[in-house]
Amino acid sequence: MAGHSQFKNIMHRKGAQDKKRAKIFAKHIRELTVAAKAGLPDPDMNPRLRTAISAARSDNMPKDNIDRAIKRAAGTTDGENYEEIRYEGYGPGGVAVIVETLTDNRNRTAAEVRAAFTKSGGALGETGSVSFMFEHIGQIVYSAAEIDADEVFEVALEAGAENVESTEETHEITCALGDFNDVQSALETKYSTPTEAGIIWKPNNVVPIETEDKATSVFKLIDVLEDNDDVQKVSANFDIPEEILEKLSS
């Protein structure tokens, strides 16, 4: 998603996600568990865990829930062992879609992801079939309400960020994967916890969706994928005009 309607696109998606808070928290718990088991349970020494904590906080997950998930993962060697698998394909209107999963049963997950693409009129492809259309980068987002654009630009670039895009609503800072933790740390030291922080797939180009029917089909596919317990994140390269979003939201 990109362009002038990016914020509206995101807000439309977030409105739907707010109705699934319990499921979202469950996904965060799964990522916190994997991150804590993969390294030290101290976020200062475990960049992946630190990112997982930031993502959970950005979705207003209670601190007690986060702490319990980390302690439970750090205190046991048994329980579920999750495997990270990425799926790629094309959705309605030729939209490129990347699906990131954490699963304890790859056969089940593959079948369910494939079925979601097929039912939407899309098609699941091989690994690498669409990811070349995206940049895999770090992204940190702050509300523009209380932070000066010029100042955040200077702070971010000094910390190693590659780009800062400011609008009336947000400051979006992007950086290379290897610089993400340094940039995040510098910004949090200056401005505290961001609205969003994590590793994203940013499309190099977007596919315009110009009808309500296609927009509905795209959102339906993403909703089905996000509703899957094994799916952690869905990225896509669509852009929907504000007037269509407003009609769908009304």
Please write the tens of the pLDDT for every residue from 124-141.
Answer: 999 999 999 999 999 999
Eight-class DSSP state of 3 = S
Under the banding of pLDDT at 50, 70 and 90, the label for residue 241 is: confident
**Mean predicted confidence (pLDDT) in 219-244:** 93
Token representation of residue 129: 């079939």
- Cite the residue boundaries of each domain of the chain with CATH code 3.30.70.980: 83-132+205-249, 134-203
The answer to whether residue 17 scores a pLDDT higher than 60 is: no
Instruction: Provide the CATH number for the domain formed by 134-203 in this structure.
Output: 3.30.70.980
Looking at residue 76, what is its pLDDT? 65
Q: Using one digit for the tens of pLDDT, what is the confidence trace for 88-99?
A: 999 999 999 999
Quote the CA–CA distance of 235 and 132 in Å, as a whole number.
Answer: 13
Residue 122: is its pLDDT beyond 90?
Answer: yes
**Greatest Cα pair distance in the chain:** 51
Amino acid at 30: R
CATH of domain 6-74: 1.10.10.200
242-249 vs 6-17: helix crossing angle, rounded to 10? 20
Which residues, in sequence order, are CB contacts of 102 under 8 Å at separation 6+?
30, 31, 34, 82, 83, 84, 230, 232
Residue 15: per-residue pLDDT = 54
The band of 55, judged by pLDDT with boundaries at 50, 70 and 90, is confident
Q: Identify which of 11, 1, 10 has the alpha carbon closest to the alpha carbon of residue 96.
A: 1
Phi, psi of 69 (to 5 degrees): -65, -45
Q: How far apart, in whole angstroms, are the C-alpha atoms of residue 165 and residue 18?
A: 25
Give the residue range(s) of CATH 1.10.10.200 domains in the chain.
6-74
Question: What's this model's pTM, rounded to 2 decimal places?
Answer: 0.83
CATH code of the domain made up of 83-132+205-249: 3.30.70.980
